[in-house]
Amino acid sequence: MAPSFSEIVEEARLSARALLDYGDHFFNPTVRLGVTGLSRAGKTVFITALVHGLTRGGRFPIFEPFATGRIAQARLEPQPDDAVPRFDYENHVHTLIDERRWPNSTVDISELRLVIDYQRHNGADRTLTLDIVDYPGEWLLDLPLLNKSYEQWSHESLALSRERPRAPLATAWHTHLATLNAQDRENEQAALTAARLFTDYLRACRDERFALSLLPPGRFLMPGNLAGSPALTFAPLELPDGGLAPDGSLWAMMRRRYEAYKDVVVRPFFRDHFSRLDRQIVLVDALAAFNSGPEALHDLEAALAGILDCFRIGRSTLLSSLFRPRIDRILFAATKADHLHHSSHDRLEAVLRRTVSEAAARAEYAGAEIDVVALAAVRATREAQVQRGREKLPSILGTPAADTAAGGQDFDGKAFDGKAFDGETEVATFPGDLPEDPEELFRGDGAFRGLSSASAEKADFRFLRFRPPRLETDDAAGPVLPHIRLDRALQFLIGDKLQ
Ligand SMILES: Nc1nc2c(ncn2[C@@H]2O[C@H](COP(=O)(O)OP(=O)(O)OP(=O)(O)O)[C@@H](O)[C@H]2O)c(=O)[nH]1
Ligand SMILES: [Mg+2]
């Protein structure tokens, strides 16, 4: 298909930007690191811990330039993009360390510049600028819309909403949909109601119990300053196969708005942010998906395939042979691994590896180097062996937050449900073992049950929400945040740039 005018203009702008960035790059090597993940995946905590560790001297034995003392210092500097909010680092550190609370949810893109002074292996002093860009994974999952017509998207979204476990959550929206005829005259009230019910359905899918991942358009759940605008007031319709939208019809109206969504939301994101990244870490809350059960895991798999597809889409656009999106390394990280005993970390990694590799194969992905890690940016727990009868159980100790609602089990097998935590007392929990064979998690035959298919007491895996750890403060430079494998992530993401 010949590229449309707007696509050509877009490409021209992209290439001008790439040249500009390239010039900059030459004198002052810069790595733009994208940090993304669906909402609550752990982006804010990850960036805060990473910057804290690099600037305050964290314990990073596997991050070679740091461990061998070649990094002289890392400091924050004003960021390059004036129109992007600054990542609120100082506040997040204060919340995490002084208040022992997790930072509040963030819904927008933000940026932070870190400058690293280091010594090359050959002894020369150099500087690497690391621009960290935090953006919602939901925006990334919107990119495939660029290649989809309204009709395609509508058809796919409807089909998905008729499958389990989504179908029961879509009842109200489907009922309204049945009263609409796509060929009728356009009608603002019908569009408003459809968009509202469709959004309610998306929100229900994201609910903790279901933890579904694949929910475009992303801005419906985080509208920001676009709330209520026509670009966000559309929904899928039941459409006849083939045929064209009659002028002035509801169908034409929905289609126009879908295209507007792509123009005002998706394209600018691609142009201004995505296409400029060099490296990418995708944070995945795989534990929340386990907690919900196999359907959530399959959904996550589809979302990861969608994400990998984005990197491919980026590479196959018109000018990509000249100005390829630069991402050459992608790290998929399962976050919050501190909810598991270390004996299960390798299993967590294996599950993610399986999920990503199937997704990569389906997306026929060949391009950037991909790796997988199970990590905890901030380790909120310690480990212990707890004797139960004759058995020694590999357990974790932590302080559950006072508002913890998720189910759990103590050592008498009693459910934690309904038990109030005071937010101060440490408890030992046995979160459940991940199965040795990752396939068990994906099978829907009840081999492994999550919360959406079993009550909290019957579910095979459940976790509590722990408060951030209490830290030793006898160190003159201030406390250091404990972590799990954050250094391995750093080594993969920027280790080669600090040779
Ligand atoms: N135990 C533990 N919990 C974590 C860790 N990282 C994140 N969490 C939990 O996950 C929640 C979400 O983390 P955030 O970093 O705010 O996630 P986010 O991706 O920035 O979320 P949004 O801004 O809402 O999109 C936190 O409130 C914590 O409860 C971690 O390393 N360990
Ligand atoms: Mg956040």
Pairing between β-strand 30-37 and β-strand 125-136 as defined by DSSP bridges? parallel
Please check the confidence at residue 218 and state whether its pLDDT lies above 60: yes
CB 213 within 8 A of CB 184: no
The token duo for 153 is 């998207």
**Ligand 1 contact via 360 beta carbon (within 6 Å):** no
Measured CA to CA, the distance from residue 51 to residue 55 in angstroms comes to: 6
pLDDT score at 131 = 97
Pairing of strands 391-398, 427-429: antiparallel
Residue 360: its pLDDT value, please? 75
- Helix runs in 323-476, H state only: 345-362, 439-442
- Encode pLDDT of 277-293 as tens digits: 999 999 999 888 877 77
Q: What backbone phi and psi angles, to 5 degrees, belong to 316?
A: -105, 15
- pLDDT on residue 321: 42
Q: How far is the CA of 373 from the centre of ligand 1 (A)?
A: 17
**Ligand 1 contact via 45 beta carbon (within 6 Å):** yes
Q: What's the CA gap between 191 and 176, in Å, rounded? A: 11
pLDDT for res 443: 74
Q: Which two tokens stand for residue 404?
A: 């913890």
Q: Looking at ligand 1, which residue's alpha carbon is closest to its atom 17?
A: 42
DSSP strand pairing (110-119 vs 71-77): antiparallel
Instruction: Provide the 3-class DSSP secondary structure of residue 110.
Output: strand
pLDDT of residue 289: 83
pTM assigned to the model:
0.87
- Provide the residue type at 467 as one letter: R
Distance, in Å, from the CA atom of 66 to the CA atom of 118, rounded to the nearest integer, reads 9
Residue 285 to residue 289: CA distance in whole angstroms: 7
Residue nearest to atom 28 of ligand 1 (CA): 102
* Residue 30: strand, helix, or coil: strand
Task: Tell me which residue has its CA closest to atom 27 in ligand 1.
Answer: 102
> pLDDT at position 328, please?
84
Mean pLDDT of the chain: 84
Closest ligand 1 atom to residue 466 Cα is 1
In one-letter notation, the amino acid at residue 457 is E
Sort residue 485 into left (φ over 0), alpha (ψ -120 to 50) or beta: left
pLDDT value, residue 320: 47
Q: Tokens 């380790």 label which residue?
A: 379
- pLDDT, one tens digit per residue, over 220-270 is 988 888 888 999 999 999 999 888 999 999 999 999 999 999 999 999 998
Ligand 1 centroid from CA 167, angstroms:
29
Q: Shortest CA distance to 172 belongs to which of 190, 193, 151? A: 193
Provide the sign of the torsion angle of the four alpha carbons 184, 190, 196, 201, taken in this order: negative
**Residue 484 token pair:** 């799990």
pLDDT above 80 for 60: yes
- Return the sign of the alpha-carbon dihedral for residues 158, 160, 164, 166: negative
d(CA 355, ligand 2 centre) in Å: 24
* Burial letters 304-332, b for 16+ CB under 10 A, else e: bbbbbbbbbbbbebebeeebbbbbebbbb
Q: Does ligand 1 lie within 6 Å of residue 368's CB atom?
A: no
Residue 227 near residue 148 (C-beta atoms within 8 A): no
Six token digits for residue 274: 């995505």
Q: Is the pLDDT of residue 363 over 80?
A: no
From 35, 40, 107, the mutation candidate for ligand 1 (largest count of ligand atoms within 8 A of CB) is 40
Would you tell me how many other CB atoms lie within 10 Å of the CB of residue 100?
17
For 5, the enclosing helix (H) or strand (E) is: helix 5-27
Q: What is the pLDDT of residues 110-142, one digit of tens each?
A: 999 999 999 999 999 999 999 999 998 888 888
The helix (run of H) or strand (run of E) holding residue 19 is helix 5-27
Q: How far apart are CA 470 and CA 380, in angstroms?
A: 8
Q: Whose CA is nearest to atom 25 of ligand 1?
A: 39
Write the Ramachandran bin of 315: left for phi over 0, alpha for psi from -120 to 50, otherwise beta. Answer: alpha
How much distance in Å is there from the Cα of 431 to the middle of ligand 2? 25
Q: Where would I find the H helices in 263-341?
A: 267-272, 286-292, 294-315
Among 336, 341, 373, 485, the mutation site with the greatest number of ligand 1 atoms within 8 A of its Cβ is 336
What does the alpha-carbon distance between residue 50 and residue 490 come to, in Å, rounded to a whole number?
Answer: 8
Over residues 407-433, the pLDDT tens digits come to 444 444 444 455 567 888 888 887 777
Query: From the CB of 338, is ligand 1 less than 6 Å away?
Result: yes
Mean pLDDT for 389-409 is 73
* Confidence band, pLDDT 50/70/90 cuts, at residue 405: very low
What pLDDT shows up at residue 231? Answer: 94
| Neighbour tally for 499: CB within 10 Å | 12
Q: How confident is the model at residue 478 (pLDDT cuts 50, 70, 90)?
A: confident
Encode pLDDT of 162-197 as tens digits: 998 889 999 999 999 999 999 999 999 999 999 999
Rounded CA gap, 127 and 493, in Å? 16
Bridge-partner residues for 249, per DSSP?
Answer: 185
pLDDT of residue 412: 41
